[in-house]
Structure 1
Amino acid sequence: MSTQLPLALRYPPDQRLETYVAAPAGALPQLRALATEPAGDWLLLAGPPAVGKTHLLLGTCAAADATGRRAAYLPLAAAAGRLREALDALEGNDLLALDGIEAIAGNRDDEVALFDAHNRARAAGTALLYAAREQPDALALGLPDLHSRLSQCTRITLAPLDDAGRREVLRQRAQRRGLVLEDAALDWLLKRVGRDLASLTGLLDRLDRASLAAQRRITVPFLRQVLGFD
């Protein structure tokens, strides 16, 4: 008998709907409804890299799981070239979150597999949540019927965070780790380490370990020492 993993192990605690910063108006209620209501729907998140598409897909899956619904997340890049097999294995879920449509664009077999899975999901009442770097019209899809199905989705466009948004994300994620990042330390990080949130989140884990080992608060001098800016 398989053991059901606890929610916190299946989906990272940083990636919940309630932890997403600066969502477009109405986006979070739409995603919560998709996660919790039994009637299936179509939603498509579009935006450039590092705007939190995966965060919202995983957060929606976590919200579905929390209500006892079955959800599955699939990064399409990981299944490119064998998408039909991967999608067949996910049948029976209440929600499918499919990330990175651009990864299979131009591969006819994968496009047909996604089109077929979309139709089966709709017939079964399975909710569908897609993510792509571009809107359907800009994706290099070769299958007109797939383009048509994706174009029928309700679309949510995500934009990069400004500095205030990045600051808030870092502050929240630090607090969940029990870290205190003062404004001066946040400013220093954002100016010198880069603005990619995935890299910054990984850096928080490193700083957490270093702070515990040294028994020191995370100050600008400590950041300079740990990150080799002395």
Structure 2
Amino acid sequence: MGPQLPLALRYPPDQRFDSFIAPPEGALPALSSLAAMAGADWIYLSGASRTGKTHLALAVCAATEQQGRRAAYLPLAAAAGRMRDALDALEGHDVVALDGLDAIAGAREDEVALFDFHNRARASGLNVLYTARGIPDDIGLVLPDLRSRLQQCLRLVLDPLDDDGRREVLRDRAQRRGLALEDAALDWLLTRTDRDLGALVVLLDRLDRASLAAQRRITVPFLRQVL
């Protein structure tokens, strides 16, 4: 068996608390408490697609393991149809991030499995973070008891970033890669490409590779050539 990764390195270094741009007031302290303290408020984090829910879920797991505690991240889309087995495998952790409740909403057996897990986790002192695109009443859950449990969590809402926020995210991601991205190039990207933040970050990876291959800085003429 090979050497294990240092705990927090299992989570992407770009997706930490300190790289999250424009968090809602009080969100990072609440999420940090969830990572660090047994018995912290459970959190229900909602927001439209590409607002940073997965970023914060992974950041919570990394922060938990930096404290020497055990964390687990579960994207619920990957567990749909086998929730009970997937959730049973999470016993014994200190913090669990369940990302994307929408993926199992309406699947009664999966919802029952989640309801049972929620109750066991409460009784055992496990901390849980849920994420979803909407509030519990709006995502299509069919189990009233599960909805009522989720409504008892501390609720945080992520809003989409404006252009200034997107510019800050791209500048931060570029700096972390050691990539020089001129302001004019940033403006060009934001006015002529898909404004979806996830798509922009993927595009930045592509530009990073192209710039390395061509041994050129990312300027507006280079963007025109590559894109």
TM-score range, shorter chain: over 0.9
TM-score w.r.t. length of structure 2: 0.96
Q: Deviations over 1:32-57 (max 9, x none)?
A: 01001122431000111010000000
The range that moved more, 56-65 or 201-210, is 201-210
The range that moved more, 139-148 or 163-172, is 139-148
Equivalent residues of 1:47, 1:159 under 8 A apart: yes
Equivalent residues of 2:77, 2:103 under 8 A apart: yes
Closer/same/farther in 2, CA of residues 32 and 174 from structure 1, 3 Å limit: same
Query: Residues 82-161 of structure 1 correspond to what in structure 2 (within 5 A)?
Result: 82-161=82-161
Query: Residues 34-113 of structure 1 correspond to what in structure 2 (within 5 A)?
Result: 34-113=34-113
1:3 deviates by: 4.8
Equivalent residues of 1:39, 1:125 under 8 A apart: yes
- Is 1:179 aligned with 2:179? yes
Residue matched to 2:168: 168
Residue matched to 1:190: 190
Closer/same/farther in 2, CA of residues 170 and 8 from structure 1, 3 Å limit: farther
Cα distance between partner residues in 2 of 1:181 and 1:40: 40
Equivalent residues of 1:99, 1:132 under 8 A apart: yes
Residue matched to 2:226: 226
AA aligned opposite 1:219: T
The range that moved more, 100-109 or 197-206, is 197-206
Equivalent residues of 2:8, 2:65 under 8 A apart: no
Cα distance between partner residues in 2 of 1:79 and 1:3: 28
Is there any run of 5+ residues in structure 1 with no aligned partner, and where?
Answer: none
SS of the residue 1:129 aligns to: strand
Equivalent residues of 1:41, 1:126 under 8 A apart: no
Equivalent residues of 2:30, 2:41 under 8 A apart: no
Corresponding residue pairs, total: 227
Equivalent residues of 1:40, 1:126 under 8 A apart: no
Cα distance between partner residues in 1 of 2:43 and 2:171: 29
Cα distance between partner residues in 1 of 2:206 and 2:147: 42
Equivalent residues of 1:40, 1:122 under 8 A apart: no
- Is 1:26 aligned with 2:26? yes
Cα distance between partner residues in 2 of 1:59 and 1:43: 14
1:215 deviates by: 1.2
Equivalent residues of 1:40, 1:125 under 8 A apart: no
The range that moved more, 38-47 or 117-126, is 38-47
Q: Percent identity?
A: 70
Cα distance between partner residues in 2 of 1:80 and 1:2: 31
Equivalent residues of 1:61, 1:95 under 8 A apart: yes
TM-score w.r.t. length of structure 1: 0.95
Equivalent residues of 1:99, 1:130 under 8 A apart: yes
AA aligned opposite 1:29: P
Q: Deviations over 1:141-179 (max 9, x none)?
A: 111110110000000011000000000000000000001
Is there any run of 5+ residues in structure 2 with no aligned partner, and where?
Answer: none
Equivalent residues of 1:47, 1:157 under 8 A apart: yes
1:7 deviates by: 4.3
1:121 deviates by: 0.8
1:6 deviates by: 2.9
Cα distance between partner residues in 2 of 1:4 and 1:68: 15
